[in-house]
């Protein structure tokens, strides 16, 4: 049996390294299984992938560029479905860390014969692909459905999928099981109405259409035992994937997490770096960015080997945060100030660049 564990990478030097270092500490091992770890680079404008390719963290890891016209989390997962052969796909994120040696066996033991996925239940009422094991045969069946049954470039939404809006060509060409957000033909009635169906075109979260397609086709799923800490309602900070009974009622630091659960999703990883791409106008993101950045620095300091840290700091000093501007041919003054802002909060988290 082969599993591809895929990590969509965007423009973080630190989280991707923390993730890969933790996977080196607790490798994805299970009886009768071979695992290939694949990092999909979504940000050609960022040099941050050098934190893997130019350090020893890249040993035994496959790094590819996202070939899709629209490069983001969902299309990176779809990229793997198109390019790799596997029995199961493990959808990961850069801010997901394994916490004990038996984590992969634990996930595999929960997958029932008719399950399409084993993972966490998202607040939008579907299986969330942050740390989720998927059955490859089902993913490939939905690939065919995407091609055969939804060929136009219209997005359908509304109570009966009666409203339509044309989508951009690049977005249309990027559709696949995880990126699919066109909806269903008018008059379709699914077993469960998607929460995004009435919110406007393109609302679907990554993997949400996959969940509703699989459910409608009769596939089942398993929701892992998890526990999520919140700073306030709507602001998750740490989701632990079983066992979860004895975890203290507070956010834990990296050393405290070891052995406390199988894996943890720390949330906010890439959102904290939105400022590198554009002006942050979302008040939620602006409010929590300092917390996210300072925590990211602490976890990187505590999880990545010291020799890799030293090399990485030199790489950041040499290459910076932008190869080009994000959407501009040259690095702008705004880009420079964004990097300075991030590094200021990293310093508060104990990492000086």
- What token pair was written down for 294? 């300072």
Read off the pTM: 0.96
Rounded Cα distance, 82 and 193, in Å: 28
If you search the block for the tokens 């050393």, which residue do you land on?
255
Digit-by-digit pLDDT tens for the chain (353 residues) are: 999 999 999 999 999 999 999 999 999 999 999 999 999 999 999 999 999 999 999 999 999 999 999 999 999 999 999 999 999 999 999 999 999 999 999 999 999 999 999 999 998 999 999 999 999 999 999 999 998 877 789 999 999 999 999 999 999 999 999 999 999 999 999 999 999 899 999 899 999 999 999 999 999 999 999 999 998 888 999 999 998 878 888 999 999 999 999 999 999 998 999 999 999 999 999 999 999 999 999 999 999 999 999 999 999 999 999 999 888 899 999 999 999 999 999 999 999 99
For residue 314, what are the CA distances in angstroms to 10, 11, 270?
Answer: 20, 17, 22
Q: Which residues pair with 280 in a beta bridge?
A: none
99 and 170 in a common domain: no
| 103 and 158 share one domain | no
Same domain, yes or no: 179 and 229: no
- 96 shares its domain with 196: no
The angle at the Cα of 277, spanning 22 to 166, to the nearest 5 degrees, equals 105
- Split into its structural domains, the chain has a count of 2
Range of the domain at 156: 139-202
Q: 258 — phi, psi (to 5°)?
A: -55, 120
Q: Is 37 helix (H, G, I), strand (E, B) or coil?
A: strand
Query: CA-to-CA distance for 128 and 131, rounded, in angstroms?
Result: 8
Using DSSP's 3-state secondary structure scheme, residue 288 falls into helix
Q: Does 353 reside within a domain?
A: no
Do 229 and 327 lie in one domain? The reply is yes
């Amino acid at each position: 049996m082969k599993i591809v564990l895929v990590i969509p990478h965007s423009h973080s030097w630190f989280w991707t390294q923390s993730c890969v270092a933790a996977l080196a500490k607790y490798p994805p091992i299970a009886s009768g299984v071979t695992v290939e770890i694949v990092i999909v680079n979504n940000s050609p404008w960022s040099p941050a992938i050098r934190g893997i390719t130019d350090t020893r963290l890249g040993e035994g890891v496959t790094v590819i560029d996202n070939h899709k016209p629209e490069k983001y989390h969902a299309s990176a997962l779809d990229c793997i479905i198109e390019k790799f052969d596997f029995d199961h796909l493990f959808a990961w994120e850069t801010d997901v860390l394994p916490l004990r040696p038996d984590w992969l066996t634990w996930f595999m033991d929960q997958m029932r014969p008719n399950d399409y996925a084993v993972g966490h239940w998202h607040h939008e009422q579907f299986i969330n692909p942050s740390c989720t094991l998927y059955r490859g045969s089902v993913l490939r069946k939905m690939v065919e459905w995407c091609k055969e049954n939804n060929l136009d470039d219209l997005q359908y939404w509304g109570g009966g999928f009666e409203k339509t809006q044309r989508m951009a060509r690049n977005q249309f060409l990027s559709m696949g099981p995880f990126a699919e957000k066109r909806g269903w033909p008018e008059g379709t009635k699914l077993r469960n109405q998607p929460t995004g169906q009435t919110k406007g075109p393109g609302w679907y979260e990554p993997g949400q259409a996959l969940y509703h397609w699989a459910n409608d086709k009769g596939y089942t799923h398993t929701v892992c035992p998890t526990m999520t800490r919140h700073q306030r309602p709507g602001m998750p900070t740490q989701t632990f994937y079983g066992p979860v009974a004895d975890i203290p009622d507070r956010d834990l630091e990296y050393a405290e997490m070891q052995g406390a659960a199988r894996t943890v999703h720390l949330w906010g990883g890439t959102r904290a770096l939105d400022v590198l791409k554009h002006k942050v106008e979302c008040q939620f993101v602006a409010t929590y960015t300092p917390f996210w950045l300072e925590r990211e620095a602490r976890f990187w300091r505590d999880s990545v080997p010291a020799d890799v840290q030293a090399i990485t700091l030199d790489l950041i000093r040499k290459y910076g945060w932008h190869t080009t501007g994000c959407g501009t041919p040259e690095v702008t003054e705004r880009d420079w100030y964004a990097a300075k802002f991030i590094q200021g909060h990293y310093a508060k988290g104990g990492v000086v660049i």
